[in-house]
Structure 1
Amino acid sequence: MAAHVLRLRIALLFGSFRGDVTDIVRAAVQLLAVAAATAAACWALLSLASTNVEVALAVTVLGGSAITLGFALSPLIGATSDPLDPRRFAVLGMAPRPLAAVLAVAGLISLPILALITIAVCAAVLWIGFGVSALVSASGVALGIITCALLARVCMALASLFLKGRQSRELTGVFLLVMIVVVVPTAVFLSSLKWDGVVPTQLSEIIDVLALTPLGAAWAFPALIEAGDSQAALAVGVAVGTALLLAALWLWLVNRLLTTTERPVAARERGGLGWLAVTPGTPAGAIAGRSLLYWLNDRRYLVNVMVIPVAAAATTVPLLVAGVSPEMVALVPVPFAALFLGWLVHNDLAYDSTAVWMHFAAGVRGLSDRVGRLVPVLLVGTLFLAVAIPIAVSLHGRWSILPAMIGVCASLFLCGLGLSSIASVVAPYAVSRPGDSPFRQPSRTGAESVVSQGAVLLGVLILSAPALWWAWQGLSGDDDAITTAMWGGIGIGAGVLLIGLGVGAAVFERRTSRLMEFAEST
């Protein structure tokens, strides 16, 4: 039976090159992309032979940790059907342990694993060139391969148990956004470092930590043993323990899958409800799903979002004309963008027009309404700031100021969201109706729009003044103020956001009739 399953796995691997022309071309492109990436990784590893052990260790641990994390996340991001799902073999009557072993071995026969094996062999050759024994080198890469393969099996099984009915392009989009938030800042940071034959001090602690985690222990311990590092034994224990724990978890999951039926695909997923099928089935989740649909499809929201980067970048022109140094100007646009991103939802209720009656008719609590409406701007703002802040700091050239930038932007963004949650129910004003041009604004007789916009902007600046002051002190050379700016800014922003949500929720519930009257009259 084991040999039969392995033959089937090999047939599936080559079967991707059969079918119509489109399928063959897609499979060929994927194969070429994987081959090119593998060749580049192998060349990079072998070129490290001319460096020292510390640099080779740093690159190997960082790369190995990223690959291991990728094997864990790819089943969740890809949302693909698992051809080795244990439930497919339930009709054969195999016991859980033999089936788990067979499927674990069959999982090694895949294009990503074959590419990983090639890279791992190059890593072993690299360590042997540095004087590490062949047995230790082979043990390290073998544990790394086993860890990645078992992680993929375990995460695929978990996805089939808990995400099967919710796999969609929207959920995949969320994971991709998270990856962008993590990968882009990391890439910007690493590209800004100067190696000069030694490991940058900014990476030393990161490498030491990763070498003792399940992500990097297997890739690190051959070099640690060669260097006589006191942490080598701990790294070996973490690597072996991780592999054993994953094997036990995989056996438990196989037994669980064999005794449970596959979750049926929910009707709402078949109905094509998009984000409404991804968000939780709660009032706040439903409002968040509807808000996401608006933000991704309504031109009024899209124009507002696109204007923010342009307006933030425009602030650099007068500063450069006034003679401010480019290094200082590079830090200005991102806080401005954070300010306007938080301010963006100060009138979000008005954009619903008469559709807001659904919230009142359903008896939605004010907190659910306030929280649900903030989800889209939180996603957009977090993604933008996570990418923009490292880029701005790299242009500035002083990475030690990064914590202060995070604190300032967090304070401006979160304070804006908190005050906007209050302003949108206290002083809403008329906006262009659904379907109208976003550049066509209705005539307004009162001063509500000016008061609402100005009050939110002024309030955010006042509340964020401490974080701005600490950041300025940090720019002037006070290193302690940099850390204070980060934690102080995050604390102030989080506190204002929570208070704003509470006050906005209470006002929403008290002014139900007034808000409905406003929606009907605009």
Structure 2
Amino acid sequence: MVAQLISLRWALFANGLKRNVWQLVGVIVGALYVVGLLVLAGVGLAALGAHDLELASIVAVLACALMTLGWLVIPVFFTGMDGSMDPQRFALFPIKPGTLAAGLLLAGFIGVPGVATLLFFWLTSLAYLHEPLALALSLVCALGSALVAQLLARTGTAIATTFAARRGVREVASILLFLPIFFLGPAIASLAENAEAVGRALPGVAGWIRFTPFGAFAGVPASVAQHDVEGALACLAVGLVTLVVLWWVYSRMLKRAIVTPPRVKAAAGIKGLGWFSRFPATPWGAVAARSLTYWIKDPRYAASLAIVPMLVILYAFIIPNITSEIPQFALILGPLVGMLLGFSISADISYDSTAFALHVLTGVRGVADRLGRVVALLCIGLPLTLIASVVPPIASGSWELLPASLGAGLGTLFVSGGLASVASARWTYAVPLPGESPFKTPQGAGARMALTQSALMVAVAVVAAPAIGLFIATLITGSALLGWLTLVVGLLWGAGVLVLGVRIGGRWMEAREPELMQAVMLNR
């Protein structure tokens, strides 16, 4: 039965590649990228082990611990990403929970992430090429590390799914867990600045981590390479206990998930008309009210808003530690926030899912649809962009840059919103369905989503060049005249692009309504 579950997972994976060309391209590109990184890591560890075995063992332990920790944290973002092997799907089959648990655990290695993880743990053995006993132990312990990583991922996902049954808990948790990843780059830059202090601390950190569940199995060959037999036995004991405990917890949670699957609680009753009572009783007013409701209650839109405070924290606390050019970096907050907020409606029809049928069946004009969504965007985006554009010049005492910052920020918001109105009516791609994690990447949509979003970002940068170019010129010269010119050009040019985008997007939407409806149905 375990072999059948593994073969089923392989058949689902292979059929997904055959059915979707974009998924096949994404898997090939991802596999080549991962193989390149693994080869570089393996060669580097082998060279380091030949030169300094102690340092190589420290790097191997830390790398394995980070990989294992990643398997605990990252899958929580993508809960339900591949529902084909959810335990609930096997509830009606006469399969023993222990057998099902073993089959699903081993089936987790099918795919690029699983295979790459197993190869990564094996490649860390290259650090011990000149220590035969440590090399043999490392090859065996790599399997233990891989099993621990898979068990942590499945246990963490099961716990997240249980808590996700409560409305709003999943979204808040996903955004909070996204914070460490968002600040990973600045954190690495900060560590690089203090490389000497970090280097002195690494041996102590690795020595402690090898006795934790994350680095226990990796600590066995590292201890043997340093002739620390007692340490190796202690690491082995911690690793085996970790496997037993995680297996017990995972088996119990899987059995419970089969018998009593979690149920998402329904939303509380809504009183009144909400935003519909605050907008005109017109087609565009109805669309604006519905879109604004999405912005406030749909976590997929809320995730876009969560980026704004993250950017503020980033520039307020991280950038001053990296560079002394604080005003120059802070002043780009306005255009950056405007671009991101305008970009957020580039997949609004995809986010509608089957609800887009309301627009088709009621005969809403394309211009009214585009206008309503833009009005909802501006209700949220204008205040946030104004704050991001006004606060940095005032806080830095550069009042003369205030007009330029406003022009660049608002101009970029209008341009981004106009181009997004066109893009969402012309190109659709699979997005998280209503109720799913906002950070989920639907299967097979990664390559097309990345291509579409990248092209739109480039288009926004190009079309907004008049305002952005004047803004940069103002920053360089400090000219007050250029600052006011940036404000005028940004507002007029941005408003013109926004109006044109609403009109063109509306025409394309009316011409492609059948294709759009078919696309959102296929993207379910």
Q: Following TM superposition, by how much is the alpha carbon of 1:115 offset from its aligned partner in structure 2, in angstroms?
A: 0.8
**Corresponding residue for residue 380 of structure 1:** none
Do the aligned residues in 2 keep the contact of 1:108 with 1:114 (CA within 8 Å)? yes
CA drift at 1:314: 7.4
Once the two structures are superposed, residues 265-320 of structure 1 have per-residue CA deviations (whole angstroms, 9 ceiling, x without a partner) of 7458x9974564669xxxxx9xx99x98x9973433333335556667779xxxxx
Matched, 1:223 2:222: yes
Q: Report Cα offsets for 1:52-95 as digits up to 9, x if no partner.
A: 12211221122111111111112211232443221111111212
Cα deviation for residue 6 of structure 1 reads 1.5
Counterpart of 2:114 in structure 1 is 113
Where does residue 149 of structure 1 map in the other structure? 150
Structure 1 position 233 matched with structure 2 position 233: yes
Q: CA deviation at 1:152?
A: 1.7
Q: Which residue of 1 aligns with 2:8?
A: 8
Counterpart secondary structure, 2:84: coil
> Which residue in the other structure is 1:299 paired with?
382
Kindly indicate whether the alpha-carbon contact (under 8 Å) linking 1:76 and 1:156 is maintained by their aligned counterparts in 2.
Answer: yes
Change (3 A) 1:245 1:168: closer
Q: 2 CA distance for matches of 1:6 and 1:27?
A: 19
Contact 2:134–2:224 (CA under 8 A) maintained in structure 1: no
Asked if 2 retains the 8 angstrom alpha-carbon contact of 1:151 and 1:246, the reply is: yes
Contact 2:212–2:238 (CA under 8 A) maintained in structure 1: yes
Q: Is the 8 A contact 2:216 2:236 kept in 1?
A: yes
Paired position in structure 2 for 1:36 = 36
2:183 to 181, 184, 200: 181
Partners of 1:53 and 1:130 within 8 A in 2: no
Change (3 A) 1:93 1:192: same
Distance 1:169 1:24 in 2: 30
TM-score when scaled to structure 1?
0.51
More deviation, 17-26/303-312: 303-312
Q: Is the 8 A contact 1:62 1:216 kept in 2?
A: yes
- Report the Cα offset of residue 121 of structure 1: 2.0
Distance 1:187 1:275 in 2: 35
Q: What is the identity, as a one-letter code, of the residue corresponding to 1:34? A: V
Question: Match for residue 73 of structure 1?
Answer: 73
Q: Structure 1 pair 305/206, CA: closer, same or farther in 2 (3 Å)? A: farther
Equivalent residues of 1:71, 1:148 under 8 A apart: yes
Q: Deviations over 1:406-463 (max 9, x none)?
A: xxxxxxxxxxxxxxxxxxxxxxxxxxxxxxxxx9xxxxxxxxxxxxxxxxxxxxxxxx
Aligned to 2:208: 209
Aligned pairs (5 A) from 1:238-317: 238-264=238-264, 266-267=266-267, 273=294, 276=297, 297-306=380-389
Whole-Å separation in 1 of the counterparts to 2:134 and 2:159 = 38
Secondary structure in structure 2 of the residue aligned to 1:18: helix
Cα distance between partner residues in 2 of 1:37 and 1:313: 42
Structure 2: distance between partners of 1:310 and 1:235: 55
Are residues 300 and 275 of structure 1, via their aligned partners in 2, closer, same or farther at CA, if it must alter by over 3 Å?
closer
Identical residues among aligned pairs (%):
23
Distance 2:265 2:26 in 1: 27
Q: Is the 8 A contact 2:145 2:217 kept in 1?
A: yes
Would you say the 8 A contact 2:151–2:250 is kept in 1? yes
**Residues 185-223 of structure 1, C-alpha deviations (whole Å, 9 max, x = no match):** 14531464159xxx8213232222212211112212211
Q: State the shift of 1:233 in Å.
A: 2.8
Deviation string for 1:383-411 (max 9, x for gaps)?
xxxxxxxxxxxxxxxxxxxxxxxxxxxxx
Are the aligned partners of 1:170 and 1:275 in contact in 2 as well (CA < 8 Å)? no
For residue 170 of structure 1, report the CA deviation from its aligned partner: 7.4
Write the distance in 2 (CA, Å) between the matches of 1:201 and 1:49.
19
> 1:239 offset after TM fit, Å?
1.5
- TM-score after normalising by structure 2: 0.51
CA contact (8 A) 1:131 1:226 kept: no
Equivalent-residue separation in structure 2 for 1:211 and 1:20 (angstroms):
42
Q: Distance in 1 between matches of 2:193 and 2:14?
A: 38
1:120-131 to structure 2, matched below 5 A, reads 120-131=121-132
Question: What CA distance in whole angstroms lies between the structure 1 residues aligned with 2:100 and 2:14?
Answer: 23
* Amino acid corresponding to residue 233 of structure 2 in structure 1: A
Higher RCO by CA contacts (8 Å cutoff, separation 6 or greater): 2
Cα distance between partner residues in 1 of 2:389 and 2:43 = 41
Seen in structure 2, the aligned counterparts of structure 1 residues 43 and 63 have a Cα distance that, compared at 3 Å, is same
The one-letter amino acid of 1:66's match is L
Deviation at 1:10, TM superposition (A): 0.9
After TM superposition, the structure 1 = structure 2 runs for residues 25-64 of structure 1, keeping only pairs within 5 Å, are 25-64=25-64
Once residues 308 and 130 of structure 1 are traced to their aligned partners in structure 2, the CA distance between those partners, rounded to angstroms, is 59
Structure 2 residue runs without a partner (length 5+): 269-289, 310-336, 342-379, 399-490, 492-524
Instruction: For 1:142 and 1:20, locate their aligned partners in 2 and report how far apart those are by CA, in whole Å.
Output: 32
Query: Using a 3 Å threshold, how does the CA distance of structure 1 residues 253 and 2 change in structure 2: closer, same or farther?
Result: same
The answer to whether the 8 A contact 1:45-1:126 is kept is yes
Q: Please list the CA deviations of residues 75-124 of structure 1 after superposition, one character each: whole Å capped at 9, or x if unmatched.
A: 21123244322111111121211211222222222321211221222222
1: CA distance, partners of 2:140 / 2:183: 34
RMSD: 3.8
Counterpart in the other structure of 1:101: 102
Alpha-carbon distance change, 52 to 7 in structure 1, aligned in 2, over 3 angstroms:
same
Distance 2:160 2:215 in 1: 24
Q: Which residue in the other structure is 1:22 paired with? A: 22
Q: Is 2:68–2:214's contact at 8 Å kept on the other side of the alignment?
A: yes
Q: Is the 8 A contact 1:71 1:152 kept in 2?
A: yes
DSSP-derived class of the 2:92 partner: helix
Q: 1:223 to 1:65 in 2, by over 3 A?
A: same
Kept after mapping to 2: 8 A contact 1:170/1:274: no
Given that 1:128 and 1:137 are in contact with CA atoms closer than 8 Å, whether structure 2 keeps it comes out as no
- Closer, same or farther: CA 264–170 of 1 in aligned 2, 3 Å: closer
Distance 1:37 1:83, change over 3 A: farther
**Cα distance in structure 1, aligned partners of 2:392 and 2:133:** 51
Tell me, which stretches of 5 or more residues in structure 1 are unaligned?
A: 280-284, 316-438, 440-522
Alignment size in residue pairs: 305
SS at match of 2:260: coil
> Taking structure 1 as reference, are residues 304 and 77 closer, same or farther at Cα in structure 2, changes over 3 Å only?
same
Q: Is the 8 A contact 1:45 1:123 kept in 2?
A: yes
The CA distance in 1 between the partners of 2:144 and 2:259, in whole Å, is 30
| CA offsets 1:319-377 (integer angstroms, 9 cap, x no match) | xxxxxxxxxxxxxxxxxxxxxxxxxxxxxxxxxxxxxxxxxxxxxxxxxxxxxxxxxxx
CA contact 1:211–1:217 (8 Å) conserved in 2: yes
Cα distance in 2 for residues equivalent to 1:9 and 1:172: 27
CA contact (8 A) 1:214 1:242 kept: yes
